[in-house]
Each structure stands twice: as structure tokens, then as C-alpha cells.
Structure 1
Amino acid sequence: MATFQQKKVKTKSGKEYTLQHPGVRNVTKITDRVKNKHGIPSDERLAEEMLQHVIVEPKMRLDDFESYMEMTEIVGKAFAFITGQDNEPVDDAEDN
């Protein structure tokens, strides 16, 4: 059984978010869903997937952001986290 790791991250603006890895199978599904018919990732789809499946605290929607830069920064951090492209350590999720 997979352990869903969590990680707390801060953006440049100082806002704190909690990310949770959705599992390898779900990551592959997400990376498939964010692509358009030509195989090019869609920024909007990527943001929606990260907000729905990876960014667990605070729970937000795309329309909740006041700053495009804030949204792209946290979405980028979330995607790097689930794809193993970040270098920061993660915390094991506690049993909830």
C-alpha cells in the first residue's frame, strides 16, 4: 500500500500550502489529462488538477487566486512535487 506523502511549501508572497502526493497511478492519469489533443500541456488543466488532487490546504479553486504569479508558483511547486522534480524533503502523512 502506498504512503501518501505530504509537504508544506511557502510561496514568495509568504503564503503556506500543504501538498499531498496522490500516488503514482494518479500522477500518470493527471499527466495524461492535462494534455490537449496535440500532447501539449494546458496551463488551465494543470492548475485545476493540482488544485483538485495535490494542493490540500488551503482548498482553493482557480478563481480564488488574486494573483496569476501566486497561482503559477504554487501549481509549479505542486507539479514538481508529484513528479519528483523538487529537491526538498517530504513528511510522511499521518493517519487521518
Structure 2
Amino acid sequence: MSNFKQKKITTKNGKEYTLQHPGVRTVAKINDRVKNKHGIPSEEKVCDEMFAHVVVEPKVKIEDFESYIDMMEVANKAYYFITGVDDPDKDKTDGNDQ
């Protein structure tokens, strides 16, 4: 897959990021790498993987964030993007709550 799908996101605090899908095989490998021996995803590993392989602009790492909430918002949006899960925050902000 040479043309990976990209998506721009804006966080609640107004920062913009560009996400790029790394390909299905890479997503499967990421899912394997982030889990502990009991199959539970590690927040730190998920963040590291999302920032290394999915968030392409600006390039960030955990240490670049001042707020845990901001860091997890970016990592979660990146994870939702690569796994095809709808962002649960999306419905809250589109004004169509009916």
C-alpha cells in the first residue's frame, strides 16, 4: 500500500495533528506489541506506538506533552483512526445529538 490514508485532527485545546495510517500489517503488529502478558494494552506503549507510527505532523513523543489528558486525547484519536473505530467524542461535537 503506497498511498497511506491521512487524516487531520484538532484537539480540544486547538492543536492540529496529521495522522497517517501505517498499513494493516503494521496495525496488527502494533496491537500485538502494546499488550502485556495478560493481553491488557499498556497506555505508555500505546502512546509510544501512536506517536512513532501514526502521528506524522508534528512528530511528538510522550515527553512533549505537558498534560496527561492532552497526550491521551491525541493517542486515542490516532488509535481510533488506525483501527477504524468511530471517535466517541465526534458525536458530542457535531450538534446532532437526536
**TM-score (normalizing by structure 2):** 0.85
Gaps (5+ residues) in structure 1? 89-96
Deviations 1:24-67 (A, max 9, x none): 00000000000001110000000000000000010011111001
In the other structure, the counterpart of 1:29 is: 29
The structure with more radius of gyration: 2
How many residues get paired?
Answer: 88
Contact 1:46 1:75 in 2 (8 A): yes
Runs of 4+ in 1 over 6 A off after TM superposition: none
Question: Corresponding residue for 1:77?
Answer: 77
Residue 2 of structure 1: how far off its partner (Å): 4.9
The equivalent of 2:60 in structure 1 is 60
Residue 3 (structure 1) shift: 2.8
Pick the structure with more helix per residue: 2
Q: Give secondary structure in 2 for the equivalent of 1:9.
A: strand
What residue identity is the alignment partner of 1:26? T
> CA RMSD, aligned part only?
1.3
Confirm or deny: 8 A CA contact 1:54 1:78 kept in the other structure. Answer: yes
Q: Give the aligned partner of residue 19 of structure 1.
A: 19
The aligned residue for residue 47 of structure 1 is 47
Structure 2 residue runs without a partner (length 5+):
91-98
Normalising by the residue count of structure 1, what TM-score does the alignment of the two structures yield? 0.87
Q: Paired residue for 2:96?
A: none
1:5 maps to 5
Distance 1:32 1:21 in 2: 17
Select the structure with the greater relative contact order (CA < 8 A; seq sep ≥ 6): 1
